[in-house]
Structure 1
């Protein structure tokens, strides 16, 4: 009896164990099926995402190809527009050369006659020429960009009165008192910036960009309201003379370069000063300066306006005023004045400078080389001048 009970207990326990095992197996099977469903769902979603990414990639590739085509088409159009602009510019240069605009401004003929009469009355004394120079500018023969040193405003020049000196002088900006001296143009072009140059310290800062180097002396306007003309010996490194420039109520001589009140220039005849005052009604004036004593020998009122003028220079006693626009375009010589009355605006040809970077801050004429030393937006440029003889009037 006891054994029978034990057997039954064993059978019951085995049945319970099998039932539990079966339930566990059923649970595990359901979990595996759920996992398989999730894996299947993941595969389906991954496949769909991969398909969408491929479609997106194809769309992006197509759009990029379209953008490349549009870019090439736009570039082609821009090249075409640039070519047309260059052609129009050449045609305008040709037309301006063939039919030059009226110099300076349109003024009533009676006013012009009155102005000329006033100028002649104020300068009855005939100018006594020091040389037999009778050249005038015919055209710009060539242009050479040497390098870029400095900022927008500046000036560079050689000694315009000494044939033995090949030294070059760099004046960067205005309101400074340190200039750079190079032994030659070649040394300047081969140098890195201003390295290798001899620095010259002036006892006072200069104002504007109207300096001149003449016969081993630097002539410059002292920075300040007193408008003092300084004469500095470059060999002895000392100021040897100074004088107050006799201009009442001075104005900037060029409206496009308002820092320059007196522009000193040298030519075959000697030293000149280009300036402006309120008395001359916005016209530019010219004075002959004695380089030894700084005395003003003679003064003239010119018909050339300050408005839109950027620079000027003197060749054989004739001042050439260069004009531009507030938005820099093409510089051109648009007004001339000859102290010996041998050249008039009607005689002077229309001279246009090659297209450059901005506006000339200074133009310095070298009578020994017949070159213009130009400063344009920090670039040092040489212009070769083509000359012809003046005509007697």
Structure 2
């Protein structure tokens, strides 16, 4: 106990005012297990120095051992970072590929859904259509049955002599309509849809040249079965000449980069059945759906040019060609649906016309009346309506009419320009795009009908004109 007391005592000397020395002793409590730690300044200073020494030793030992390792760790981290970046780039690339594939599949899905909806509507229409009355079977020797099939080349009918007459350009193509090559004739006849167009009300509607009053419902004459028939142009010559009569129907499928085939049908019935009586191979390729027929000649725009060609049907040769001055071509000033419809040729009671635009007109519609023999421009009018803002146009009695939309099922004829007064105005005449993709509209002055090509379908519209106003 004495030893413990002597080890735990701490003496602190001090002087009083008389000069004597005094010593103060601290004795621990008997209940303490050991001497308490002193908190004097010397001990605190020692602790501080010991702490500094430990830090220095730690830095020396840790630094010497850690410097080589630090360099190796940096290299390893850089390598890992490079590998991670490569993996990230690969993942981003795969994600972009998957995104593109997803978008493609979504587009295909939308197309399939549209086709399914069209098939559903067609099925519903067929279900609602009443069945035709049953007719007795015709004997095999009946002339009625023979007239529904292709006539032999040695026959005496006008169709047979047209079929026997060879093409003068060495065309060896078949006279069979490519859209109707499959299946027996009897089956194909069931697919034809022929409806008569009702005549306009009142005899006054077919006389004079008043403004357009109304357009009837579309009547379907034929549906193409191949993709080549999605767009096209069909025509009847309002002033037909020999060897073809006024009932002859002509058709060109305009899908493709080298459109040259012209199909001729003896009448509308043969068109609906798909039995052409004449197939001509044109010497120059056709551009778009702007062709027309007039006085025994086919007028069309040559592909990728502003050149207009007059192709004589009787001689099967090019009778005239001429560039349409300053006309845009091959997508410069088309209608809103596209299709390289820069130059649209038309025929009405006053002759041959061209509807187009130029750089000078800045995309506005220009109307030119052409000489049907030489194709020379006789006179031109510049309108104030932009060509690419309308879906299509046609000319009746010297007046240009434009159609607002080529896809809307219920649209309007929204503008008319009268070349006689050189004035235009807005109108709102209802017009139907039954199949929602109308790529061609032309007027036939002999029959007072509009001829159109609407999404594989050949259709026509009866028109009604008002009385001509006296001058």
For Structure 1 versus Structure 2, the TM-score category normalised by the shorter chain is 0.5 to 0.7
Alignment check: 8 A CA contact 1:156 1:169 kept: yes
1:243 matches 2:322: yes
Alignment check: 8 A CA contact 1:253 1:284 kept: no
What stretches of structure 2 of length at least 5 have no aligned partner?
1-206
How much is the aligned-residue C-alpha RMSD, in angstroms? 2.3
Note the C-alpha offset of 1:249.
4.7
CA distance in 2, matches of 1:369, 1:392: 24
CA distance in 1, matches of 2:459, 2:367: 25
Secondary structure of residue in 2 paired with 1:230: strand
CA distance in 2, matches of 1:355, 1:222: 28
Secondary structure of residue in 2 paired with 1:307: helix
CA distance in 1, matches of 2:324, 2:436: 30
1:330 corresponding residue in structure 2: 410
Structure 2 matches for 1:211-290, cutoff 5 A? Answer: 211-224=291-304, 226-250=305-329, 251-290=332-371
2:289 corresponding residue in structure 1: 209
Alignment check: 8 A CA contact 2:334 2:388 kept: no
Alignment check: 8 A CA contact 1:342 1:392 kept: no
Match of 1:307 among 388, 394, 419: 388
CA distance in 2, matches of 1:198, 1:280: 41
Structure 2 matches for 1:1-393, cutoff 5 A? Answer: 133-149=208-224, 150-162=228-240, 164-174=245-255, 175-189=258-272, 191=273, 194-224=274-304, 226-250=305-329, 251-324=332-405, 328-341=408-421, 344-345=424-425, 348=427, 350-391=428-469
Runs of 4+ in 1 over 3 A off after TM superposition: 194-197, 390-393
CA distance in 1, matches of 2:355, 2:284: 22
- Give me the TM-score of the superposition, normalised by structure 1: 0.61
CA distance in 2, matches of 1:133, 1:249: 34
Alignment check: 8 A CA contact 1:265 1:313 kept: yes
CA distance in 2, matches of 1:342, 1:239: 34
Alignment check: 8 A CA contact 2:265 2:275 kept: no
Note the C-alpha offset of 1:235.
1.2
CA distance in 1, matches of 2:441, 2:328: 25
Note the C-alpha offset of 1:335.
1.1
- Give me the TM-score of the superposition, normalised by structure 2: 0.51
Note the C-alpha offset of 1:142.
3.7
Note the C-alpha offset of 1:197.
3.7
